Amino acid sequence: MKKRSLFLFPFLILTFTSLAQSEQCGITTFINNIKKSNPELYAKIKQNEKEYEKKVRESNITFVSDKNSYESKKFNHRNGGLSSIQSLCGYNNSYFGVGAAPTVLGGSLVANNIYGGDYITVTNMIAGRTYRISTCGNNDFDTQITVYTSGGTTCVAFNDDLCQNNQAEIYFTPFTTGNYDILLDEYDCQSTFIVSTNLIVELDYTPDPIITIPVVVHVVWNSTTQNISDAQINSQINVLNQDFRRTNTSISSAPIPFKGFSTDMRYQFCLAQQDPNGYPTNGITRTFTNKTLFDIPSGDSSIWFSSLGGQDSWDRTKYLNIWVCNLPGIPNPGLIGVGTFPWLGLAVPAIDGVVADYQAFGTMGTAVAPTNLGKNITHEVGHYLGLRHIWGDEANCAGSDSCFDTPNQTISSSGTPTFPFTDVCSPNYPGIMFNNFMDYSDDISKNMFTFFQFVRTDAAIRNGGIRASLATSPGCIPSTGFYENNFNDFFTIFPNPSRGKFIITQQKLINNPVMEIINVLGEVLYSSKLKDTKTEINLSIPPGIYLVKVSSEHNFVIRKMIID
């Protein structure tokens, strides 16, 4: 058996600074301490990250007409823009014309010489497709774009000054297929009568197939309270499926200037139905531990290793591993979750996945407010798929999450901010995107990802990305391996009869097998985990007939054993 010990992971000696919010994600400090304690490993991680960023920029799902302007757009937007408007533009513009939404990737509908105060109707915009609605590249007047459902019933998107020269742009992914009215105004929701400009509607993305990611949840518990129920685990999987498919009911409360940039990430999750050996599983492992706390901030790496009181991961190339345990984060501010970036997991495979506090997981049972709606895990899985914190983890507006459709902000949010919420980095309306899953607002406030956050995750899992193998993992497919009667073939006792010394042999190591010796009264006299294909047992028990029971998560077999 491979030996593992703490000295292999000196970078896990972490020190968390005190923050005001009740939620802390440990990934930033995690990597900063690698930098200090293991420069060689840090260099490897940074090289992986560099290659990942290159893959993001080579993405073929966006920047169809303007790939080279990414940096300049991001720089302008992330310095806050120039808008001081405090509300959306009303539906009171004049009709300019009508046109069909483009249907070919990179195709566009262009309204030439449109004035501020006019609107165009775009027909048959398809749900799930992403359209770039833009005046970028023009310099005729300070533009604003507002999108309504046709007829003005509902405002669905708004932007002012995403681009240079006070121009507007929206990456709009409709919730429903239909006709939409796109209003063009001069700042501040005014009409122009002398100067006109061009408005473009370009098809930038057509949906890729949905990817289903197999999940294994490792419950590592010391008290019965920490041994959370299957129902609580399933509640968290449900939240992930809603949040990453934009079917969460809370998206309806997203502020319109942000909601118009929201998107369907096109990932869904299942509890694994087969384990790494191809055997049936419910996607949950349960491990009792003598450890009362997994103090990752103090350098405790044991959660990742069975030999240290935690649980070894399943194959990281086929499963998203989530460990649920007692972390030092609740009730006091501190660590309640860690999610490894793709480039970090590639460098240190044993820790790849998500670790969560048992009180910040799911929507029932032990989950406690303000982290009782499952958004902590949505946030950490965001890191796992390549997303950074929305404020960029640097002060004084210097940080970037490398997504130009998320406004810059000074530090993480906390509590339940009221829209519009501004800071020195984004001092103007609509302020910071505190409702983004990658911020630190309370669960009740978080409700969306943006299109360019999707672009970053797409680079992780499609087209040969670091996590591409998850897309073809069989983990969500019901097992065709041994089951019920076939299970008998994998378990033998030799010699039998014996004098109490015998060998239990598995033809193939199954998932978490437990062996019990039971007398004729049904009493369990001996119990042990079988960690190898061959296990020698030496018992001192009276002569007689006994039962040997070997069980896995879904199967068991009982054999008669004679002691003479």
Mind spelling out the 3-state secondary structure of 256-303?
A: HHHHCCECCCCEEEEECCECCCCCECCCEEEEECCCCCCCHHHCCCHH
pLDDT at 195 over 60: yes
Q: Across-strand partners of 563?
A: 498, 544
Band (pLDDT 50/70/90 cuts) for residue 508 is low
* pLDDT tens digit sequence for 339-366: 999 999 999 999 999 999 999 999 999 9
State the span(s) of the chain assigned CATH 3.40.390.10: 6-57+209-472
Angle at 526 between CA 522 and CA 529, to 5 degrees: 120
pLDDT at res. 333: 56
What number is the average pLDDT over the span 446-452? 97
Give the amino acid at 283: G
* Those residues with Cβ within 8 angstroms of residue 283's Cβ, 6 or more apart along the chain or in another chain: 214, 215, 216, 217, 270, 271, 272, 273
Band (pLDDT 50/70/90 cuts) for residue 73 is very low
39 phi and psi angles, rounded to 5 deg: -55, -35
pLDDT at res. 86: 63
CA-closest candidate to residue 258, choices 186, 338, 157: 157
pLDDT at 184 over 80: yes
Angle at 557 between CA 552 and CA 559, to 5 degrees: 140
Distance CA 547, CA 518 (A): 5
* Least confident piece of the model among 103-112, 238-247, 389-398, 433-442: 389-398
Query: Does CATH number 3.40.50.10420 belong to domain 6-57+209-472?
Result: no
Fold of 484-563: Immunoglobulin-like (2.60.40)
State the span(s) of the chain assigned CATH 2.60.120.380: 71-205
Cβ(325)–Cβ(294) under 8 Å?
yes
Quick one: DSSP state of residue 431?
B
Distance CA 336, CA 540 (A): 46
Beta strands in 22-140 (DSSP E): 24-25, 94-100, 108-115, 118-125, 130-134
Band (pLDDT 50/70/90 cuts) for residue 554 is low
pLDDT at res. 61: 63
Cβ(185)–Cβ(93) under 8 Å?
yes
Band (pLDDT 50/70/90 cuts) for residue 31 is confident
Cβ(12)–Cβ(33) under 8 Å?
yes
CA-closest candidate to residue 321, choices 280, 278, 362, 269: 269
Per the prediction, the chain carries an average pLDDT of: 86
Comparing 385 with 396, which gets the higher pLDDT? 385
Distance CA 147, CA 125 (A): 12
pLDDT at res. 7: 30
Distance CA 353, CA 340 (A): 6
pLDDT at res. 79: 34
- Where on the phi/psi map is residue 161: left (φ > 0), alpha (ψ -120 to 50), or beta? left
* CATH tag for 71-205 (out of 3.40.50.720, 2.60.120.380, 2.40.40.20, 3.30.420.10): 2.60.120.380
R_g of the chain, CA atoms, integer Å = 28
State the span(s) of the chain assigned CATH 2.60.40.3080: 484-563
pLDDT at res. 60: 61
pLDDT at 35 over 90: no
Catalytic residues: 380
Q: Across-strand partners of 108?
A: 202
